[in-house]
Amino acid sequence: MLGEFLIDQPRDLLFDLAASEKLWERRVAMLSTFAFLKQGDASTTIEIAGMLLGDGEDLIHKAVGWMLREVGKRVDPDTLIRFLDENAPRMPRTALSYATEHLSPELRAHYRAMR
């Protein structure tokens, strides 16, 4: 996978893909960050998720939410919470739903009410 190849490389390619007009290139950029999450690094995931929040495609919303959920599960729940505190009001419903899936019912309700 692309992310595994880029673990010890500059990640500029992922940011270029995230800015692409092509849906599948944007999705690859987001999903490739999973390799970094498995290594305990959420920084690229957070940056690319921020870039893609305004995307109009549901497949991107799902990918963003999925990778954000993994930030909270695999790396640091506080990093996910900080991202949600800053971005939940403008997150697409699908992305927010996926991202908050493993939070307590109270936290899930709090973030969903921010929309």
Q: What is the pLDDT of residue 66?
A: 98
Q: Look up tokens 């790396």; give the residue.
A: 75
Q: By residue range, what is the domain housing residue 18?
A: 2-113
Q: What is the pLDDT of residue 115?
A: 81
pLDDT at 102 over 90: yes
pLDDT tens digits for 39-77?
999 999 999 999 999 999 999 999 999 999 999 999 999
**Average of per-residue pLDDT values in the chain:** 96
Q: What is the pLDDT of residue 103?
A: 96
Nearby residues of 96 by Cβ (< 8 Å), 6 or more positions away: 65, 84, 88, 111, 112, 115
Cβ atoms of 15 and 28 within 8 Å: the answer is no
CATH of the domain at 48: 1.25.10.90
Per-residue pLDDT band at 19 (split at 50, 70, 90): very high
Structural domain total, the chain: 1
Per-residue pLDDT band at 10 (split at 50, 70, 90): confident
3-class DSSP assignment, residue 20: coil
Q: What is the pLDDT of residue 114?
A: 93
3-class DSSP assignment, residue 7: coil
Q: How distant, in Å, are the alpha carbons of 7, 8, 9, 75, 98 from that of 62?
A: 23, 27, 26, 19, 7
> Percent of the chain at pLDDT above 70?
100
pLDDT tens digits for 20-32?
999 999 999 999 9
pLDDT at 5 over 80: no
